[in-house]
A = this chain, B = another copy of it.
């Protein structure tokens, strides 16, 4: 059974400190490697493996249907019950566009045609980079997965702005509607502090 905390659990697990070597299981020590590095890393005293940790990419779409945008009400922590654009962690073996399309199918069951990369927003505080693609909806029928309570189309004036789950989603939506009104889509890069 899918639990309500699966994505949150993933996040926490990915960021818990490295205590043991992934190669041999020995307890690691934190030291600055002797190879010109400048930061402490988890190093295995037995097999000398150096363990690096790096930011994660979260990829998603802005699925649009005329002047409306598809939002998903989250069924998982964090921000359960809040509204988001379909998005999730990029997986090995897929491009950012493929990952964004996969998440849109998994979370909203939406049929889309992928368009251009629209926003790249850093959330350095939590070690994430969020990327959203524009995506043209091919149907207004949705079939949300277990991570979503409901999927719904919203015009700009109807968006529940106080109930948006993440600031990267809010910024992406604001830019998207502004560009849509202007009649020309640009590309937006930004940071969330």
A69 within 8 A of B: no
- Give chain B residues whose Cβ lies under 8 Å from the Cβ of A152: none
Interface of A is mostly: loop
List residues of A (71-123) whose CB comes within 8 Å of B's CBs: 89-98, 116-117, 120, 122
Q: Specify how many copies of this chain sit in the oligomer.
A: 2
CA distance A18 to B95 in the complex (A): 22
From A122, which residue of chain B is reached at the shortest CB distance? Answer: B95
Please state if B26 and A25 are interface contacts (CB–CB under 8 Å): yes
A162 within 8 A of B: no
Cβ-defined partner of A25 (8 Å) among B21, B55, B129: B21
Known: A10-B52, A26-B25, A92-B54. A3 touches B35 (CB 8 A): yes
CA distance A56 to B189 in the complex (A): 19
List residues of A (7-38) whose CB comes within 8 Å of B's CBs: 9-10, 13-14, 16, 18-27, 33-37
CA distance A19 to B90 in the complex (A): 22
CA distance A16 to B49 in the complex (A): 10
List residues of A (162-193) whose CB comes within 8 Å of B's CBs: 187, 189, 191
- Give chain B residues whose Cβ lies under 8 Å from the Cβ of A23: 16, 19-20
CA distance A27 to B21 in the complex (A): 10
CA distance A4 to B91 in the complex (A): 30
Known: A91-B54, A129-B57. A20 touches B22 (CB 8 A): yes
Known: A20-B25, A54-B56. A6 touches B129 (CB 8 A): no
Cβ-defined partner of A92 (8 Å) among B16, B51, B53: B53
- Contact bitstring A106-145, B, C-beta under 8 A = 1, else 0: 0000000000110010101001010100000000000001
A146 within 8 A of B: yes
Enumerate the 10 nearest inter-chain pairs by beta-carbon distance, A residue then B residue, closest first. Answer: A2-B36, A20-B25, A25-B25, A95-B122, A6-B35, A117-B189, A187-B187, A92-B127, A18-B22, A95-B124
